[in-house]
């Protein structure tokens, strides 16, 4: 019998819903909201893919996963085969299946999305990616021989301990570099400033969206490939880039992200009860403050909470506040819901859970009481003006029109900047006007020969998959250099 897929006809079949915890139940726990497809769900969704001759979905993916290929394997019932296709392009499929903004990437380009009234909408590529990664991991843990064979193939490689590469920072960009090079037998050491590896995946994105177990699983797989992780090492303080070359490292990758919180410079920002999203989320996720006192880190709580911003970080902070017992949680955003940059699913989930949107306004002042404890925010009302450079309508202040929002806790989620520690300690490293590292877009090489960079520290705050794409490009170039071959 031929293996060639049958020619499929486009017909209207709705997207297969993702089973989720009910909103009022899930805000009382910190467990994952989306429960994952069953085998029947995954089969039904995979069968919606018409296996286009020229698939558009692939171009929509920043690392150009062979989406048609992995879904084709699922249609044939070959789960290990589907996983193998995914792993050839993406070292963190269980993560990306959960957090990528698919609606603007692969699913945004799927042909079925062009005419949703006739087709039911784009294939749920992210949900299938998650299904494949999770099911493969579960079967592997049970000793499934077909799965073991795939990981065994990955482990069959020549060890080259004399070829050492260092990564500074342990987020998705560095993990991609480490995974790629380790698979070629190159010895990689990752230096991470925090006590856990994973970057934003462990300190920023909450457990209810991305269980930390998944990140740990990926890190363990890399350790099995020989990657060494050194935690509590601050690049620029505990170790300098030139010292790494002196220690025999052939190349250095800088994947330190852009984790320095940005504030708004409005009066009252230093009142008690005003936090950066970075501190708020790090306390809850990395410090496990949601499980205080079983874990040591406490967290500030209030009945009424405002989160300033409209991106994923703002949604994560707002939904976290609800889970910590807040009665009213407001998202304060200066444009409208339609311009919010958060993933659609996060916004929908936040609204289902009871987060209230206060759009077209922004803080003028964080008002404190006599003890400098936050009691309210004075808000400037806005309207939308002409589009700005980002293509979104510019928020314009409505002169003299203000509002007052009574809150005891405010979380500022209006963006981040690069942390200067490593940058200032690395002479010769060229930076852009905005303070990010200047790196070759094709190879990731910086102004220092043999030093590469990628992810948020080059682009500014972006996405997991774009950081991984940059890591992959840099890893290819590093491998080409240190192995002395064209791969």
> What x-and-dash track marks residues 119-138 binding ligand SF4 by CB under 6 A?
----x-x-------------
- Work out how close the CB of 467 gets to ligand FAD at its nearest, in angstroms, rounded to a whole number: 3
Closer of 191 and 275 to ligand FAD (Cβ) = 191
According to CB under 6 A, which residues from 86 to 115 bind ligand SF4?
A: 110-112
- Range in contact with ligand SF4 (rule: CB under 6 A) among 49-57, 259-267, 306-314, 450-458: 49-57
As a whole number of angstroms, the longest Cα–Cα distance in the chain is 80
- Work out how close the CB of 288 gets to ligand FAD at its nearest, in angstroms, rounded to a whole number: 16
Closer of 57 and 177 to ligand SF4 (Cβ) = 57
**Angle of helix 125-141 versus helix 145-155 axis, rounded to 10:** 90
Say how far apart CA 130 and CA 121 lie, in whole Å.
19
Pick one of ligand FAD, ligand SF4, none as the site partner of residue 123 (Cβ within 5 to 8 A by kind). Answer: ligand SF4
Closer of 177 and 326 to ligand FAD (Cβ) = 177
Pick one of ligand FAD, ligand SF4, none as the site partner of residue 257 (Cβ within 5 to 8 A by kind). Answer: ligand FAD
- Work out how close the CB of 101 gets to ligand FAD at its nearest, in angstroms, rounded to a whole number: 6
Closer of 50 and 281 to ligand SF4 (Cβ) = 50
Tell me whether the omega of the peptide bond preceding residue 436 falls within 30 degrees of 0, making it cis. Answer: no
Q: Which residues make up the interface to ligand FAD (CB under 6 A)?
A: 99-100, 168-174, 191-194, 199-200, 204-205, 234-236, 255-257, 259, 281, 312-313, 316, 343, 419, 421-422, 455-457, 461-465, 467
**CB-based contact 407:305 (threshold 8 Å):** yes
According to CB under 6 A, which residues from 69 to 88 bind ligand SF4?
A: 71
**CB-based contact 398:431 (threshold 8 Å):** no
Pick the binder of ligand SF4 from 42, 61, 67, 475 (CB under 6 A): 67
- Work out how close the CB of 96 gets to ligand FAD at its nearest, in angstroms, rounded to a whole number: 8
- Range in contact with ligand SF4 (rule: CB under 6 A) among 19-27, 55-63, 154-162, 415-423: 55-63
- Work out how close the CB of 39 gets to ligand SF4 at its nearest, in angstroms, rounded to a whole number: 19
- Work out how close the CB of 71 gets to ligand SF4 at its nearest, in angstroms, rounded to a whole number: 6
- Work out how close the CB of 110 gets to ligand SF4 at its nearest, in angstroms, rounded to a whole number: 3
337 pairs with which residues across the strands?
A: none
Closer of 235 and 395 to ligand FAD (Cβ) = 235
- Work out how close the CB of 142 gets to ligand FAD at its nearest, in angstroms, rounded to a whole number: 30
Cβ neighbour number for residue 17 with a 10 Å cutoff: 11
Pick one of ligand FAD, ligand SF4, none as the site partner of residue 15 (Cβ within 5 to 8 A by kind). Answer: none
Pick the binder of ligand SF4 from 52, 260, 397, 425 (CB under 6 A): 52
Pick one of ligand SF4, ligand FAD, none as the site partner of residue 351 (Cβ within 5 to 8 A by kind). Answer: none
- Work out how close the CB of 123 gets to ligand SF4 at its nearest, in angstroms, rounded to a whole number: 4
Residues with Cβ within 8 Å of residue 451, at least 6 apart in sequence: 241, 251, 252, 253, 254, 426, 429, 445
Given the rule CB under 6 A, which residues bind ligand SF4? Answer: 49-52, 55-57, 67-68, 71, 110-112, 123, 125
């Amino acid at each position: 019998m031929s293996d060639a897929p049958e020619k499929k006809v486009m017909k209207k079949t709705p997207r297969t819903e993702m089973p989720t915890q009910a909103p009022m139940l899930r805000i009382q726990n910190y467990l994952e909201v989306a429960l994952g497809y069953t085998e029947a769900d995954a089969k039904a969704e995979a069968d919606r893919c018409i296996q286009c001759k020229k698939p558009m979905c692939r171009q929509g993916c920043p690392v150009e996963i062979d989406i048609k290929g992995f879904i084709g394997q699922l249609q044939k019932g070959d789960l290990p085969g589907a996983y193998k296709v995914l792993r050839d392009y993406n070292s963190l499929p269980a993560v990306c299946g959960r957090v990528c903004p698919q609606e603007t990437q692969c699913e945004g380009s799927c042909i079925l999305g062009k005419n949703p009234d006739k087709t039911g909408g784009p294939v749920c590529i992210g949900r299938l990616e998650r299904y494949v990664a999770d099911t493969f991991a579960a079967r592997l843990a049970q000793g499934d021989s077909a799965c073991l064979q795939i990981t065994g193939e990955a482990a069959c490689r020549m060890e080259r301990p004399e070829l050492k590469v260092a990564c500074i920072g342990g987020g998705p960009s560095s993990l991609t570099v480490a995974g790629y090079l380790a698979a070629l037998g190159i010895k990689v050491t990752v230096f991470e400033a925090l006590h856990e590896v994973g970057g934003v995946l462990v300190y920023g994105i909450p457990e209810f969206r991305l269980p930390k177990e998944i990140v740990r699983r990926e890190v363990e797989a890399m350790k099995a490939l020989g990657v060494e992780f050194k935690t509590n090492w601050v690049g620029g303080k505990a170790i300098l880039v030139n010292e790494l070359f002196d220690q025999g490292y052939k190349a250095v990758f800088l994947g330190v992200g852009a984790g320095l919180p940005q504030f708004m410079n409005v009066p009252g920002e230093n009142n008690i009860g005003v936090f950066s999203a970075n501190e708020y989320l790090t306390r809850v996720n990395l410090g496990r403050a949601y499980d205080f006192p079983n874990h040591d880190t406490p967290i500030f709580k209030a009945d009424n909470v405002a989160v300033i911003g409209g991106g994923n970080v703002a949604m994560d902070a707002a939904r976290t506040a609800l889970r910590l017992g807040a009665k009213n949680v407001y998202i304060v955003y200066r444009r409208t819901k339609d311009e919010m940059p958060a993933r659609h699913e996060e916004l929908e989930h936040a609204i289902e859970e009871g987060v209230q949107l206060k759009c077209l306004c922004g803080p003028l002042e964080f008002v404190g009481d006599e003890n400098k404890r936050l009691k309210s925010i004075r808000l400037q009302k806005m309207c939308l003006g002409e589009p700005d450079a980002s293509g979104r309508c510019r928020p314009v202040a409505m002169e003299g029109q203000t509002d007052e929002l009574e809150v005891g806790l405010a979380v500022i989620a209006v963006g981040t900047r690069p942390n200067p520690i490593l940058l200032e300690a690395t002479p010769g490293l060229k930076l852009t006007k905005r303070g990010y590292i200047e790196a070759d877009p094709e190879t990731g090489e910086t102004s220092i020969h043999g030093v590469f960079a990628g992810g948020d520290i080059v682009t500014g705050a972006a996405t997991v998959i774009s950081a991984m794409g940059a890591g992959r490009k840099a890893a290819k170039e590093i491998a080409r250099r240190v192995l002395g071959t064209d791969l």
